[in-house]
A = this chain, B = another copy of it.
Amino acid sequence: MLQVGIIGASGYIGVELVRLLLIHPEAEIKLITSRRFAGKKISEVYPAFKGLSDLAFSDVNLQEFSKLDLVFTSVPHGKAMEYVPELREMGIKVVDLSADYRLSKEVYEKVYGEHRGYLKAVYGLPELHPEVRNAELVANPGCYPTGAILATAPLVKLGIVSEIIFDSKSGISGAGNEPSERSHYPNLAENILAYNITRHRHRAEMVQELEKFGKVKIHFTPHVIPSIRGILTTAHVLLKESISEEEVRRAFKEFYKDTSFIRFVELPKLNDVRGSNFCDIGWRIDEENQRIVVLSAIDNLIKGGAGQAIQNMNLMCGLDETTGLMFPPLHP
């Protein structure tokens, strides 16, 4: 049984880690931290956990983590770098869910600012990076990049893509559990809000990962929709040369042939993946063969966050990647 801890367990992603690890057959949560709720039981703060867990939040004291096999750091970017190097020195495996280890130092500092604890990590998209299996430090991808990269990497690899416009639509849980203007019900209900329209920081991850497969221009515009969970990515893939439906299908099948959580469906929909670790993918080639529209749907808190982190943990610790993650979506 793996002994794990979670630094930053009171945000939506942290809580989701707790929720999923509670039903994981091979892992046991030993420690959860939260500055804000230190000393309180998780079931006091989140009544959803009543009867399910006696865990209590504590303050961060890295010494207490020394006997653990793996730690999830689920804190804001800039904050993870305060813990990760020390945890790694203690020999503890780390899955970091912040942005701190996803990019090269150079790109990170351009996009996020100074990095005060850089280490090399594996980018934790196991469908693209089998080397997660031997990794000791994995940088869990951003929610938007997960949906965007998975939707288009097979096409970029074919060498036929000139440019991609990612028009993404996310549930509001991606913005965290603090009430804000954007999450205020009258501002979001019956609405859809574009934000960071040409300059969302997640774009850097898309560029980094997709350019491994070939040169391609990447545009990204995110929106929040009146939904709690889920990201639908509409990838408008502009082509350099035409391609047949058959070739596209073959490319996707081949690319994902050894994976567990990619499903090809006619129409990816949030309510077919909500509550699950799946990434559903579907596509259409437009009539003049100048564009392929690829849609992907994920649960932003699971495949786009806590579920993917556990998938990484499984691989880092020698388990089957599906262990504890093959639960069905909540449908309807």
On whether A171 and B190 interact (CB within 8 A), knowing A265-B47, A293-B221, the answer reads: yes
Q: Which of B172, B234, B260, B273 contacts A186 (CB 8 A)?
A: B172
B12 and A198: CB pair below 8 A?
no
Asked whether any CB of chain B lies closer than 8 Å to the CB of A205, the reply is: no
Per the bound structure, the CA–CA distance linking A332 and B163 in Å amounts to: 36
What range describes how many residues of A lie at the interface?
35 or more
Contacts of A186 in B (CB 8 A): 12, 172-173, 177, 183, 228, 271, 332
Contacts of A275 in B (CB 8 A): 275, 330
A169 and B197: CB pair below 8 A?
no
Q: Which of B167, B184, B192, B329 contacts A185 (CB 8 A)?
A: B184
Contacts of A52 in B (CB 8 A): 326, 328
> What sequence of 0s and 1s flags, for each residue 7-47 of chain A, a beta carbon within 8 Å of any chain B beta carbon?
00000100100010011000000000000000000000011
Chain A residues packing against B (C-beta within 8 Å): 12, 15, 19, 22-23, 46-52, 163, 165, 167, 169, 171-173, 177-181, 183-195, 197-199, 217, 219, 221, 223, 225-230, 232, 234, 236, 238, 260, 263, 265-267, 269-276, 278, 280, 284-287, 290-291, 293, 295, 326-332
Within the complex, the shortest CB–CB distance from A248 to chain B, in Å, comes to 13
A23 and B169: CB pair below 8 A?
no
Contacts of A223 in B (CB 8 A): 169, 232, 234
Per the bound structure, the CA–CA distance linking A50 and B265 in Å amounts to: 8
On whether A22 and B191 interact (CB within 8 A), knowing A225-B225, A275-B275, A286-B198, the answer reads: no
Within the complex, the shortest CB–CB distance from A267 to chain B, in Å, comes to 7
Q: Which 6 A-B pairs have the closest CB atoms?
A: A198-B286, A186-B332, A179-B179, A48-B331, A167-B167, A179-B184
Nearest to A20 among chain B residues (CB) is B328
Per the bound structure, the CA–CA distance linking A263 and B48 in Å amounts to: 10
A331 and B227: CB pair below 8 A?
no
On whether A46 and B331 interact (CB within 8 A), knowing A190-B228, A267-B193, the answer reads: yes
On whether A198 and B284 interact (CB within 8 A), knowing A186-B183, A226-B189, the answer reads: yes
On whether A163 and B238 interact (CB within 8 A), knowing A172-B186, A198-B293, A291-B219, the answer reads: yes
